[in-house]
Amino acid sequence: MPENTREITLEEAKKLYNSSEEAKVFLLSKFTKEELEGKNIPTQEEFNKFFEENIFPLIDYSKTKFLDCNNGHVSKTPTSRIELNNSDNKWLFDYNYEQKNSRFLYSYKRVYLIFMKQFSLHDVDRNRLMKSLVEKHFNLSDIQPLRNQ
Amino acid sequence: MTENTREITLDEAKKLYNSSEESKVFLLSKFTKEELEGKTVPTQEEFNKFFEENIFTLIDNSKTKFLDNNGNVSKTPTSRIELRNSDDKWFFDYNYEQKNQHFWYSYYRVYTIFMTKISLQDDDRHRLMKSMVEKHFNLHGVIPYMIN
């Protein structure tokens, strides 16, 4: 470190952050908004817990549907494509466990917006956390969950 | 065929089969009971159709449960699924997780229904069930078992 420079820690920056508009602008050039405002990336356990306590309870299992794997229409017979809905019969998750056609979709309005309100996540973190959540709860490995309208 | 022997077709044998006890005994030495009584092993398509029309229609999807590793109903989704009828009695219990894959069907509510209609040897039953499960549940390499 050259003679004319000094270190500022994140702790020090956080204390200074709301002291003035100038300080805020300056510190935002050194740290990210998430770091300064305390919006830390949740651990996998925290993310899973949020789902267990806030998203999964929205599922009404009596509205579970089996969908035709080819066209997405409701099937009269069991299939490997499952749709989990809320009590208003609006879909939350739509996934297919068949190896060849495995996929996992989650609703933009009814899942994504809820957890993104709680955790402001970058795409890379969201994808990583969702992938691991789906592995743990749905036992679906090697699938990148996608949000869908 | 020698001069003193004649052919008898299955159709001819079927007509003669119930004419007398002697005919029955004689014909059973030439043909199998299944051939004579018409209980042929169904094709895979016929077997699947039977399930589609007589078994799957008994499932009430609103009773679907997700089970944990202990077989208890889970509050969160899992890879182990139980399909039930409207009386909340289980029909199928399967796990699509590769490591712990299984497919069980109910002795009382599935096995006895199709075995009443289609009398099958174990080999044929296993083969037909395996293929039916592959087609409808997309579960490959799993041997379906009946459970009480």
pLDDT in tens, B80-134: 999 999 999 999 999 999 889 999 999 999 999 988 888 788 889 999 999 999 9
Judgement on whether residues B100 and B53 belong to the same structural domain of the protein: yes
Judgement on whether residues B46 and B18 belong to the same structural domain of the protein: no
pLDDT score of B38: 67
Tokens of B130: 């395996």
Measured between alpha carbons, how far is A53 from B112 in angstroms, rounded to an integer?
Answer: 42
Report the run of H or E that residue B93 belongs to, with start and end. Answer: strand B90-95
Whether B62 has its CB under 8 Å from any CB of chain A: the answer is yes
Higher pLDDT, B2 or B75: B75
Whether B137 has its CB under 8 Å from any CB of chain A: the answer is yes
Measured between alpha carbons, how far is A66 from B18 in angstroms, rounded to an integer?
Answer: 48
Which residues lie closer than 8 Å to B16 by C-beta, 6 or more apart?
A: B23, B27
Judgement on whether residues B56 and B86 belong to the same structural domain of the protein: yes
Judgement on whether residues B36 and B55 belong to the same structural domain of the protein: no
ipTM for this model: 0.74
Under 8 Å between Cβ of A111 and A94:
no
Judgement on whether residues B28 and B46 belong to the same structural domain of the protein: no
Q: Which domain holds residue B8?
A: 1-40
Measured between alpha carbons, how far is A126 from A108 in angstroms, rounded to an integer?
Answer: 13
Q: Which of A52, A61, A140 sits opposite B64 (nearest CB)?
A: A61
Judgement on whether residues B113 and B46 belong to the same structural domain of the protein: yes
Q: Across the interface, do A78 and B63 touch by the CB < 8 Å criterion?
A: no
SS3 category, B81: strand
**Number of compact structural domains in chain B:** 2
Judgement on whether residues B23 and B53 belong to the same structural domain of the protein: no
Segment B3-29, tens digit of pLDDT: 777 788 888 888 888 888 888 888 889
Measured between alpha carbons, how far is A70 from A67 in angstroms, rounded to an integer?
Answer: 8
pLDDT score of A39: 66
The structure tokens 């009946």 sit at B146
**Predicted confidence pLDDT, tens digits, chain A (149 residues):** 677 778 888 888 888 888 888 888 888 898 887 777 766 789 999 999 999 999 999 999 999 999 999 899 999 999 999 999 999 999 999 999 998 889 999 999 999 999 998 887 889 999 999 999 999 999 999 899 999 98
Residue in chain B nearest A63 by alpha carbon = B62
Whether A129 has its CB under 8 Å from any CB of chain B: the answer is no
Tokens of A77: 């017979």
Judgement on whether residues B22 and B83 belong to the same structural domain of the protein: no
Measured between alpha carbons, how far is B49 from B27 in angstroms, rounded to an integer?
Answer: 32
Strand order through the sheet with A103-107:
A65-67, A81-85, A91-96, A103-107, A146-148
Judgement on whether residues B25 and B60 belong to the same structural domain of the protein: no
Closest CA to A129 of A47, A51, A54, A55: A47
| A95 phi, psi to nearest 5 deg | -140, 155
Q: Across the interface, do A78 and B83 touch by the CB < 8 Å criterion?
A: yes
Q: Across the interface, do A64 and B62 touch by the CB < 8 Å criterion?
A: yes
Instruction: Give how far Cα A50 sits from Cα of A44, A93, A118, A119, B66, Å.
Output: 10, 16, 9, 10, 20
CA-based nearest distance B40→chain A, Å: 26
pLDDT band at B39 (very low <50, low <70, confident <90, very high): low
pLDDT score of A15: 81
Residue in chain B nearest A137 by alpha carbon = B78
Q: Compute the count of residue pairs across chains A and B with CB atoms less than 8 Å apart.
A: 63
Q: Across the interface, do B78 and A80 touch by the CB < 8 Å criterion?
A: no
Which 39-98 residues of chain A touch chain B by CB within 8 A? 51-52, 56-57, 59, 61-66, 69, 76-80, 82, 84, 93, 96-98
